[in-house]
Amino acid sequence: MSEKTGNDAAKPRKVAIVTGSATGLGAAAAVMLAGRGCNVVINCTKSRSEAEATAVRCRTQGVEALVAQGDVSDDAACRAIVDAAVRTWGGVDYLVNNAGRTTFIPYEDLGALTKETFLDIYSVNVVGTYQMIRAAEPHLRRARGAIVNVSSIGGVTGIASSMAYAASKGALNVLTRSLALVLAPEVRVNAICPGAIQTRWLRGGMGDEAYEKMITGLSEQLPLRRVASPEGIANSVVAFLLDHTEVTGETLNVDDGLHLGRLPSYASTDKGRDQF
């Protein structure tokens, strides 16, 4: 692994791989990990120029960063991503499985959700995550490292951009628990379940008008009266990796209170309170 300078010269830097990290939450997590002293692998499927820009942001934190292009639904690509980290720095300490895929399909339109769509979404969100973990397993065990799988509140509530996406994230939550048992005691495995995040990915899927309407509506309705930024969610990713060293097999809702639902209308009136 590469060495630090000065008083930390004898201490190798930790190495983190963040899939789907050209933009959005993945990029925010990568930059935050760089700020905590990790060398970082930035992964993208297509957005090479944006991945390179994120790598530059990481390097400004005084660490090293490289871009490894590849689709995690391809097992050979997963192995190549891990190999790039090991070849460059000698190992892998942390893995963030952030790469995700969805299609925006109304739940009521059962005919629009095909077998091919299901398999395409699962190939990244579930199988891709598994393949990345399998490829990194020996290095993570050696480092006594940690994994965070980026799931979704849709995997808890069943409501998301499509039924297939929600189902894939529910499967990912179960996979997280299974792998936490398998990889213990050397490797911790946890998942976060974000709600809506203010990202280009979500805007692109919904369209500008629907996206702005949703952000405004959620900002008024959510218990915390806001919609998360990528950096806000990345805080939980980094905390699971670096700080919460006694936690494994956990699935954390990071959704500004969306999972709580809403109080019934009578609960906020004096007349309603008189009835209890």
pLDDT of residue 271: 45
Q: What is the 3-state secondary structure (H, E, C) of 15-60?
A: EEEECCCCCHHHHHHHHHHHHCCCEEEEEECCCHHHHHHHHHHHHC
Q: Which residues have a catalytic role annotated? A: 165
Contact criterion met (CB below 8 Å) for 60 and 35: no
- C-alpha distances (whole Å) from 15 to each of 38, 84, 120 are 5, 11, 30
pLDDT of residue 159: 86
Residue of 142, 252, 143 whose CA lies nearest to 194: 252
pLDDT of residue 2: 46
Contact criterion met (CB below 8 Å) for 129 and 235: no
In words, the CATH class of domain 10-253 is alpha beta
Stated length of the chain: 276
pLDDT of residue 5: 47
pLDDT of residue 140: 98
How many C-beta atoms surround the C-beta of residue 120 within 10 A? 16
Q: Which run of H or E residues covers position 230?
A: helix 230-238
pLDDT-flagged residues of the chain (< 70): 1-10, 197-206, 208-220, 222-228, 256-257, 261-276
